[in-house]
Amino acid sequence: MKGKILEVARRIFGEYGFHGTTTRMIAQEIGIDISTLYYHWGEKGDLYEAVILDIYEDLRTKLIEIEQIVHGKSLSTRMDTAIEMMTDYLFLSPEICNLILFRYFTRTRQPSNLDFRVPEFISEIAFSMGIAKDRKHLPLDIRMRMLAMMNQIYNFVAGQNFFMDLLKTTREDYVQNVKDTLKFILIPAFAQYERAGKHHDGNGDAGTMGEGDGKKEETAP
Amino acid sequence: MKGKILEVARRIFGEYGFHGTTTRMIAQEIGIDISTLYYHWGEKGDLYEAVILDIYEDLRTKLIEIEQIVHGKSLSTRMDTAIEMMTDYLFLSPEICNLILFRYFTRTRQPSNLDFRVPEFISEIAFSMGIAKDRKHLPLDIRMRMLAMMNQIYNFVAGQNFFMDLLKTTREDYVQNVKDTLKFILIPAFAQYERAGKHHDGNGDAGTMGEGDGKKEETAP
DNA sequence: CCCTGTTTCCATCATTTGATGGAAACATAG
DNA sequence: CTATGTTTCCATCAAATGATGGAAACAGGG
């Protein structure tokens, strides 16, 4: 039962957010009384915290699995496979994306129960992609690119209902197009690392060229 | 006063979301009684609706302004300028990004007051970029790429607090790195349109395109 | 069966929250 | 000043919500 509650709480919190979810909604979805819920998980904030830890744990497991499969391949191939696997996985548990994005964007009225830190796996991903030489001390620009990449996936999964309606497409079609769009955007972007040889940082101003705007060199801090 | 309420409501709704915001929070922030708020805007859902319409109107105005400035330039230049302007603008009104993303990701318990449709400017942007030949009947893949592009910007602005804390960086530094990251990812991706000539759709498996030669000139730093 | 510990539900509270009616304050034209 | 329309605040409600105590149901070992 404790597990069942966590599972349903993940889904409901993922759909409605923290304040949009009531303990009664969760209990009713399972068909139990709310006091049973409180018995197992304590107050609402504690349950939410458990949900967050749970999804990050799932995500970590998946990332490790993917890392082992794409290990050793070329960057383009690695990204292609990783995008396929990651997308398929997240569409099976879309609340993972929703909950992560809520954390990024939303403030809560709660004192500070929910502001605990969770690793964002940024360095792990960069390392797995072969972009980081060293698991620690990742330069800022690389960390931001990793965030950008993950966000791109999260967005299409978390917003699937809205976007499917907006684009007037079926689910199957949508999933395929998400993968294609991700590849269209991410692979050329990160292909710059392949072309630029191993670790030519190339400043952030990639792609524009010319213009030589006044940006100073900003070597990795 | 009516305007002042709308302005503050934008900010608070943007920070806490619909259910995370109470009418009392808005009223208190201004220093008025909640009944004054209800007098001007009716029920909470109506105020929220007004907020959404307001931010979309602002966004529309800005997009038109940008469109006129980048008109006629090359795609890379257009994107460079548009990213600069759009980012600067959104960082001044970050609640725009938050509110748009909430609409994408969050469900509300409300009956259906907030499910009204608002244009997402997808076709306008594609047309302005010179990617769409025809303002109507945009193919699905192009619309998704436009969404992906806008989402990329929205995310970094809406999540600025979280990301700045995560990356341990200052605001100024963060803003600059957002621009650089956006250019790093978006410009190479959409440069495929330039290289591929005018309208070679190219199937979704765009990842292969990056391998060919790639960008010729690379401003040696 | 009985005893004990666990789990579930019912009844109930105290707050919070959305919402409103009506009195007071304010403004403005005549 | 007075009359009229507008705006703001005070007091208050009803419903929703987070939370809890205690009785009942359940489970398993002796």
Cα separation of A170 and A172, whole Å?
6
Cα separation of B97 and B99, whole Å?
5
Per the listing, tokens 């907020």 go with B51
Phi-psi category of B177—alpha, beta or left, where left has phi over 0 and alpha has psi -120 to 50?
Answer: alpha
Q: Environment class of residue A216 by beta-carbon count within 10 Å: exposed (0-12), middle (13-18) or buried (19+)? A: exposed
Cα separation of B191 and A189, whole Å?
10
Give this complex's ipTM.
Answer: 0.88
Residues A132-150 have pLDDT tens digits of 887 778 899 999 999 999 9
Residues A9-25 have pLDDT tens digits of 999 999 999 999 999 99
Which residue in chain B is spatially nearest to A84 when comparing CA positions? B205
Residues B144-188 have pLDDT tens digits of 999 999 999 999 999 999 999 999 999 999 999 999 999 999 999
Cα separation of A118 and A125, whole Å?
15
Residues B99-142 have pLDDT tens digits of 999 999 999 998 765 667 778 899 889 988 888 888 778 899 99
Instruction: At A81, give phi and psi (nearest 5°).
Output: -65, -45
pLDDT score at A132: 83
pLDDT at A33 over 70: yes
Dihedral of CA B88/B91/B93/B94: which sign?
A: positive
CB contact under 8 A, A145 and B192: no
Per the listing, tokens 């004054």 go with B36
Cα separation of A153 and A144, whole Å?
15
pLDDT score at B171: 97
Which of A103-112, B84-93, B113-122 shows the lowest mean pLDDT across its residues?
B113-122
Residues A68-80 have pLDDT tens digits of 999 888 888 999 9
Determine if strand C comes within 7 Å of the CB of B17: no
Chain mean position to CA B149: 9
pLDDT score at B196: 64
Residue nearest to nucleotide C8 (CA to C1'): A36
Phi-psi category of B197—alpha, beta or left, where left has phi over 0 and alpha has psi -120 to 50?
Answer: left
Of A106, A188, A195, the CB nearest to B192: A188
pLDDT score at A176: 98
Which of A38-42, A99-103, A169-173, B126-130 shows the lowest mean pLDDT across its residues?
B126-130
pLDDT at A7 over 70: yes
Helix (H, G, I), strand (E, B) or coil at A220: coil
Question: Which residues numbered 24-43 in chain A sit less than 7 A from strand C, measured from CB?
Answer: 31-36, 39-40
Cα separation of B24 and B38, whole Å?
11
Q: What is the mean pLDDT of residues A100-123?
A: 83
Chain mean position to CA B61: 13
What Rg, from alpha-carbon coordinates, does chain A have? Answer: 20
pLDDT at B22 over 90: yes
pLDDT score at A206: 39
Cα separation of A127 and A125, whole Å?
5
Q: How many CB atoms lie within 10 A of CB A45?
A: 16
Distance from CA of A134 to the nearest CA of B (A): 17
pLDDT score at B212: 33
DSSP secondary structure string, B61-81? HHHHHHHHHHTTS-HHHHHHH
CA distances from B208 to A142, A188, B85, B164, B218 (A): 23, 9, 31, 34, 21
Dihedral of CA B164/B122/B72/B200: which sign?
A: positive
Cα separation of A152 and A155, whole Å?
5
The proportion of chain A whose per-residue pLDDT surpasses 70, expressed as a percent, equals 85
CB contact under 8 A, B20 and A162: no
Question: Residues A209, B183: contact at Cβ < 8 Å?
Answer: no
Residue nearest to nucleotide C7 (CA to C1'): A36
pLDDT score at A115: 62
Distance from CA of B52 to the nearest CA of A (A): 15
Cα separation of A42 and A37, whole Å?
7
Question: Residues A118, A110: contact at Cβ < 8 Å?
Answer: no
> At residue A221, what is the residue type?
P
Show residues of chain A in contact with B178, CB under 8 Å: 144
Distance from CA of A146 to the nearest CA of B (A): 10
Q: Exposure string (b/e) for B77-91, b if CB count within 10 Å is 16 or more?
A: ebbbbbbebbbebbb
Per the listing, tokens 């006629």 go with B72
Distance, Å, B3 CA → D1 C1': 34
> At residue A49, what is the residue type?
E
CB contact under 8 A, A17 and B16: no
Distance, Å, A47 CA → C16 C1': 20
Show residues of chain B in contact with A149, CB under 8 Å: 185
pLDDT at B69 over 80: yes
- pLDDT band of residue B210 (cuts 50, 70, 90) is very low
Distance from CA of A21 to the nearest CA of B (A): 8
Determine if strand C comes within 7 Å of the CB of B159: no
Angle at B93 between CA B87 and CA B94, to 5 degrees: 75
Residues A189-216 have pLDDT tens digits of 988 777 665 444 433 343 333 333 333 3
Report the candidate in B138, B86, B148 with the shortest Cα–Cα distance to residue A159.
Answer: B148
pLDDT at B220 over 90: no
Q: Where are the domains of chain A?
A: 55-195
CA dihedral A152, A158, A159, A165 (to 10 degrees): 130
Question: Which residues numbered 32-91 in chain B sit less than 7 A from strand C, measured from CB?
Answer: 34-35, 38, 42-45
Residues A79-91 have pLDDT tens digits of 999 999 999 999 9
Residue nearest to nucleotide D9 (CA to C1'): B33
Show residues of chain A in contact with B104, CB under 8 Å: 155, 158-159, 162-163
